[in-house]
Amino acid sequence: MNARRIVAVFGAALVAAFALPFVLPSNYAVNVAAMILFTAFLGQSWNIAGGFAGQTSFGHVVFFGTGAYASTILQVAWGWNPWLGWIAAALAGGVVGLAIGALAFRAGLRGSYFALVTLAFAEVFRILANSAEFTRGGLGILIPSDPRAANLQFKDPVWFYWIALALLALSLAVAAWLKRSRFGAQLAAIRENEDAARALGIDVFRAKTICLGISGAMAAAGGTFYAQKYLYVDPSIAYGVEKSVEMLLVSMIGGAGTVFGPLVGAAVLGGVGEITRSFAAGQGLSLVVYGAILVAIVAWLPDGLIGVFARRGGARRGRDA
């Protein structure tokens, strides 16, 4: 596909997605759709580091939670407007990403070791949020309800749908840029063979650190969205391991390192979630299915579900999907 056709298809899909809430039967359905788009966005933030650069993270909530807390505290304790707080939150997430990246990559942590250290960072942040004064510890922080657009609060769930759609579109643009840009090519080289990339003259440390910064800023923006939607944040929501796993799952299942992988993954997980919910109450079963899908994907479909379609479209295109 040439660039113009991609833009046309993408634009048409965006318009269709924008109009989707008008044909959905209920607010519940709009909510489910909004959460699928939002999960796809979070998955994309993971994918920027975990997929494109191959830096598998087990603790991406460290950014998500930082964003959720940053905007909430600025808003509740400092009286900031949440829109402004949102930008500050993304910046905070970016800084945390750069800091963790600088520390971990300077120490030469790769592969599983990088994954485990991110898990430990998330745990440190969770414990700190649980005991610090300004996060109100385990009580969490309640955002006073005042549904006005200026407050980034809405009565009608459709607005969160549209915001999630905008976030997702933005993240897809970032991913598409990574696919085509020089920086993205550097990340791909690092993912495939870090030593070879270094031998080619790529500043591996710098590229990986910046990449984690971008990824962190995106996840933090997601944290603010979540806090504004539920008007509440506490340590286990913000820094719980479940969200880290969810981000990793949608990206891995859809196809890590692809532009549309996280969206495919989020749609599949959302669908599985709705189906298992109709069979049995509780979250347990759907996560069992997710875990099984993850094992199967890693074992047999390293390019994710999207790889299956890409392979049909001709092996030549492979990861271009």
Partner 1 sequence: MLNFDIVLAGTVNGLAAGAIYVLVAVGLTLIYGVLHIINFAHGSLLMLAMYAVFFLFTRARIDPYLALPLVVAGSFALGYVLYRFLIGRFAHGKDENILLITLGLSIILDNLALFFFTGDTQTIDVPHASGIVEIGPAFLPKAKVIAFFAALGLCAALGAYIGRSDMGKAIRAVARERQGARLVGIDVEHVFAVSYGIGIACLGAAACLLMPSFYVSPSSGHAFVLIAFTTVVLGGMGSFLGALLGGFVIGITESLGGLFLGEQLGQIGISLIFILILLLRPTGLFGGGR
Which is nearer to partner 1, 125 or 225 (by Cβ)? Answer: 125
DSSP state of 24: S
- Tokens for 175? 């991913």
Which is nearer to partner 1, 12 or 120 (by Cβ)? Answer: 120
Nearest to 247 by CA among 33, 53, 63: 63
Q: What does the alpha-carbon distance between residue 268 and residue 66 come to, in Å, rounded to a whole number?
A: 28
- Binding-site member from 24, 99, 231, 241 for partner 1 (CB under 8 A): 241
Quickly list DSSP for 114-131: HHHHHHHHHHHHHHHHHH
- Binding-site member from 14, 20, 24, 116 for partner 1 (CB under 8 A): 116
Give kind and range of the element (H or E) at residue 233: strand 232-233
Contact pattern for partner 1 over residues 35 through 64, marking x by CB under 8 A: -------------------x-x-x------
Per CB under 8 A, 9 contacts partner 1: no
The packing angle between helices 304-312 and 261-279, to 10°, is 120
Per CB under 8 A, 98 contacts partner 1: no
**Smallest separation, CB 70 to partner 1 (Å):** 20
Per CB under 8 A, 169 contacts partner 1: no
- Binding-site member from 17, 123, 136, 162 for partner 1 (CB under 8 A): 123
- Binding-site member from 29, 91, 109, 188 for partner 1 (CB under 8 A): 109
Which residues make beta-bridge pairs with 141? 233
Cβ atoms of residues 44 and 252 within 8 Å: no
Q: Which 3 state secondary structure label does DSSP give 46?
A: helix
- Tokens for 216? 């962190």
Which is nearer to partner 1, 143 or 204 (by Cβ)? Answer: 204
Q: Which 3 state secondary structure label does DSSP give 8?
A: helix
Per CB under 8 A, 279 contacts partner 1: no
Nearest to 39 by CA among 263, 302, 297: 263
Q: 48-70 burial, b if ≥16 CB within 10 A, otherwise e? A: bbbbbbbbbbbbbbbbbbbbbbb
Per CB under 8 A, 137 contacts partner 1: yes
Q: What does the alpha-carbon distance between residue 202 and residue 186 come to, in Å, rounded to a whole number?
A: 7
- Binding-site member from 111, 147, 271, 318 for partner 1 (CB under 8 A): 111
Number of residues that bind partner 1 (CB under 8 A): 44
Per CB under 8 A, 12 contacts partner 1: no
**Smallest separation, CB 185 to partner 1 (Å):** 21
**Smallest separation, CB 289 to partner 1 (Å):** 9
Site of interaction with partner 1 (CB under 8 A): 54, 56, 58, 103-104, 107-109, 111-113, 115-117, 119-121, 123-124, 127-128, 130-131, 137-138, 241, 245, 248, 252, 280, 282-285, 287-288, 290-292, 294-295, 298-299, 302
